[in-house]
Amino acid sequence: MSILGHKQPKYRAVMSLLLVMVAGVAMAATPAPASGDIPQLMARAESLKTSDNAGFAKLLETLESRTAELSETQKWHLRFMEGWQADYIGQDEKAKSLLEEVIKQSSDNNLRTRATATLINVLGAGHHYQEAFEYLDRGLDDLPQVTDKQTRFPLLGEASQLLVEAGQYDLASKYASQIVEEFPTGRYGCIGRMLKLHAELHDEQPRISNETFQSAINQCLNIGERLAADTIRRDMVFLDMQQNKLDDALSLLQENYGEVKGLGYSGLTAEYNVLLAQVYWKKNNIPFAQKYATAAVDIASKSDLTDPLLTAYQLLYEIERQYGDLRQALAYHEKYVAADKEHLDDVREKALAYQIVKQQVEAKKVELDTVNKQNQILQLQQALDHKAVETGRLYIALLLTVLASIAFWLFRLKRSQLRFMRLARRDGLTGIFNRQHFMEEAEQTLRYAAKSLRGACLILIDLDHFKNVNDTYGHIVGDTVLKRAVTTCQRYLHSCDVFGRIGGEEFGILLPECSLIQALERAEQIRAAIQDGRDDEFQHVAISASFGIASTAHYGYDFRRLLLAADGALYRAKRDGRNRVVVSMNETTPASNTHKHATGQGSALDSTPSCAE
């Protein structure tokens, strides 16, 4: 998004733009300087950054032409403003180079902190998350030496946003709270409360009252920060939807939708559209859900906004399935899978970058401690000439024990890194593969099967009416039902089978070296077991599942094609009454084998056309 036609970073567009806007407020009233007054030229340039970027650029040219008149401090200040401008117009590499120079060579703590905050935004825009966290860690270490509160604000704001994206919500809330403490009122306080509420929203059970939301909204509106107020309203709607307060969510969206569109920020507009689509979908107003989801896709696809685009594709897929337009549903599903893969890669990259930098910092501390201990050992060895040998050896033995303890700690640190890598591949609730790792393992298994000319089958499982279970009994019971279904499936799986949670209540199983008949038999066993199995604690919760099967014998070894075929069969199972198994076959299969009708529940072969047709 751009104020004056310049490119804005796509990374955290709404919040980063707010931080940039506020950064220029302090000097907004600076009078036009005399042509020969360098300090006032610089102050005037700072005040025009976002309000008149063209004027800011001209002042930079004037200052650059008078470099010989600048002091050393003023030269570094000019270099920072050049880096800021390069970031503002999208010249990321130039911005990175200029800002790194300021950070490494300037003697001004305040200027280095401002450059660090801007550079973190540049690195985030370029998906260089590990570098962003490294600079953030160094910037936060130096922050106690920065006494100017307005200089501290951008770095604390970037810290809160970056940590939210890495899933470190407590830390993100901590840094946002520092902003609120230092700026209880005014624009900085408004944005601090916005960041704090956004971080707290990601708690497992967020407990943010409507009064807290409204208080923050009023604070922002009182100073004219409508963008921040509407961003807080977005989070308020999200919490209402989590708590199934659909009427409250819809009312808030409708009241402020026109204002959000008028602000002209594509990221927030796309998010409001997708929230409206979700609310209408849950209220079973399909035409309106389709209207707003389509609008979200139009905006998000042009601005590279992954989160709203992903949700909109998923909704449009469900809508087309409900309408019975299978071909269009599969088209949206394919777009959703592609966007989801990119999204999951980005999320995983952020989380891993944070953990890597955190482990590096801890490892450096341990290494420094190790060097200190080794120096102590050398000093003791040198002192042996002047002290009793027995006493010296005792000290050396003690320090060697300490070194051994440090080595053991390093071993545990390495083991924790490996454990984190394993956790990144698992679904947090059920413990089986998450969507991303399931797809990777399935593709690798299919490549091996193709080389060895061995067949394989893909089974997709969707729990029937699972939304009703959540709405009726609550999410705790819903989570128990999901874990029970996974345990049931695992009883019928072999060690070589690939099992993962694709999303929500949908699961996937890839069966290598398995014929279509064998896959059908095993799917039917799992279906019956899920239907019959109930916990003593939740005897009243009945659950069943629908199954879609596709075989490499009919669709080849391309995982995407196999997934779409199995999903088409799953849709047929849902449409034909649920609690049944349907096999997808392409049109080349003899007619005598394309249908096997079930009576009530059970299995059926389906002539669902392949995606290639």
Please tell me the predicted confidence (pLDDT) of residue 30: 45
List residues bridging with 548 in a β-sheet. 460, 582
549 with 516: CB under 8 angstroms? yes
Claim to verify: residue 490 and residue 354 sit in the same structural domain: no
Note whether residue 86 is domain-resident.
yes
126 with 155: CB under 8 angstroms? no
Count Cα atoms within 13 angstroms, Cβ side, for 552: 24
- Other CB atoms within 10 A of residue 298 CB: 12
Please tell me the predicted confidence (pLDDT) of residue 147: 87
**Mean pLDDT, the chain, whole residue set:** 83
- Asked which of 361-365, 517-521, 549-553, 600-604 is least confident by mean pLDDT, the reply is 600-604
Claim to verify: residue 411 and residue 441 sit in the same structural domain: no
Claim to verify: residue 508 and residue 566 sit in the same structural domain: yes
Claim to verify: residue 454 and residue 588 sit in the same structural domain: yes
Q: Where are the alpha helices (DSSP H) in 533-591?
A: 552-555, 559-575
Pairing type for strands 545-551 and 456-463 reads: antiparallel
Residue 161 confidence (pLDDT) above 70: yes
Please tell me the predicted confidence (pLDDT) of residue 90: 83
Claim to verify: residue 452 and residue 545 sit in the same structural domain: yes
Q: Where are the alpha helices (DSSP H) in 426-533?
A: 435-451, 466-473, 475-490, 516-532
Note whether residue 212 is domain-resident.
no
Buried b (16+ CB within 10 A) or exposed e, 338-368: ebbeebbeebeebbbbbbbbbeeeeeeeeee
Task: Give 513: exposed, middle or buried? Use CB within 10 Å, 0-12, 13-18, 19+.
Answer: middle
Residue where a domain terminates, one of 166, 193, 210: 166
Please tell me the predicted confidence (pLDDT) of residue 510: 97
Claim to verify: residue 393 and residue 541 sit in the same structural domain: no
Which region holds residue 437: left if phi is over 0, alpha if psi is between -120 and 50, else beta?
alpha
Residue 26 confidence (pLDDT) above 50: no
399 versus 572: the higher-pLDDT residue is 572
Claim to verify: residue 444 and residue 401 sit in the same structural domain: no
Structural domain boundaries, residue 54:
1-166
Claim to verify: residue 415 and residue 444 sit in the same structural domain: no
User: What's CA 529's distance to the chain center, in Å?
Assistant: 36
Note whether residue 363 is domain-resident.
yes
> What are the residues whose beta carbons fall under 8 Å from the beta carbon of 607, sequence distance 6 or more?
585, 587, 589, 594, 595
Residue where a domain terminates, one of 166, 188, 208: 166
List residues bridging with 241 in a β-sheet. none
Residue 438 confidence (pLDDT) above 90: yes
What type of residue is 277? Answer: A
586 versus 526: the higher-pLDDT residue is 526
Residue whose structure tokens are 């995983």 = 348
For the chain, give the percent of residues with pLDDT over 70.
85
157 with 198: CB under 8 angstroms? no
Q: What is the pLDDT of residues 375-398, one digit of tens each?
A: 777 777 666 556 655 666 677 778
Split at pLDDT 50, 70, 90, the class of 301 is: confident
Q: Which two tokens stand for residue 217?
A: 């909204």
Please tell me the predicted confidence (pLDDT) of residue 497: 95
367 with 359: CB under 8 angstroms? no
- Cα dist from 441 to 106, 433, 444, 512, whole Å: 49, 9, 5, 11
350 versus 95: the higher-pLDDT residue is 95
Q: What is the pLDDT of residues 228-273, one digit of tens each?
A: 999 999 999 999 998 899 999 999 999 999 999 998 888 899 999 9
Please tell me the predicted confidence (pLDDT) of residue 363: 74
Please tell me the predicted confidence (pLDDT) of residue 386: 60
Q: Averaged over 150-173, what is the pLDDT?
A: 90
Q: What is the pLDDT of residues 400-425, one digit of tens each?
A: 887 777 777 777 777 766 665 655 67
Q: Which two tokens stand for residue 275?
A: 């929230």
Number of domains into which the chain is organized: 3
User: What's CA 415's distance to the chain center, in Å?
Assistant: 25
Claim to verify: residue 475 and residue 529 sit in the same structural domain: yes
pTM score, two decimals?
A: 0.61
> What are the residues whose beta carbons fall under 8 Å from the beta carbon of 420, sequence distance 6 or more?
352, 355
Claim to verify: residue 479 and residue 596 sit in the same structural domain: yes
What type of residue is 209? Answer: S
Residue 8 confidence (pLDDT) above 50: no
- Cα dist from 553 to 133, 283, 518, 580, 586, whole Å: 48, 42, 13, 22, 10
Q: What is the pLDDT of residues 165-213, one digit of tens each?
A: 888 889 999 999 999 999 999 999 999 999 999 999 888 778 899 999 9
Query: CATH number, domain at 557?
Result: 3.30.70.270
Please tell me the predicted confidence (pLDDT) of residue 15: 45
- Cα dist from 385 to 362, 390, 396, whole Å: 37, 12, 14
Note whether residue 547 is domain-resident.
yes
274 with 296: CB under 8 angstroms? yes
Q: Which two tokens stand for residue 99?
A: 């800002």
Note whether residue 7 is domain-resident.
yes
Pairing type for strands 580-584 and 602-606 reads: parallel
Claim to verify: residue 406 and residue 532 sit in the same structural domain: no
Q: What is the pLDDT of residues 308-347, one digit of tens each?
A: 999 999 999 999 999 989 899 889 988 888 888 777 777 7
Q: Which two tokens stand for residue 202?
A: 């990601």
Claim to verify: residue 39 and residue 88 sit in the same structural domain: yes
For the chain, give the percent of residues with pLDDT over 90.
47
Interior CA angle at 39 toward 36 and 41, to 5°?
Answer: 60
Note whether residue 151 is domain-resident.
yes
Residue where a domain terminates, one of 423, 452, 473: 423
Split at pLDDT 50, 70, 90, the class of 599 is: very low
Nearest-angstrom CA–CA distance, 406 and 511:
46
Enumerate helices (H) and strands (E) in the chain, giving the number of each. 24, 6
Please tell me the predicted confidence (pLDDT) of residue 265: 86
Which region holds residue 236: left if phi is over 0, alpha if psi is between -120 and 50, else beta?
alpha
Note whether residue 295 is domain-resident.
no
Note whether residue 199 is domain-resident.
no
- Cα dist from 587 to 515, 517, 520, 553, 584, whole Å: 19, 18, 19, 13, 10
Query: CATH number, domain at 49?
Result: 1.25.40
Residue 48 confidence (pLDDT) above 70: yes
The DSSP result for 61-83, as a single string, is HHHHHTGGG--HHHHHHHHHHHH
Please tell me the predicted confidence (pLDDT) of residue 421: 60
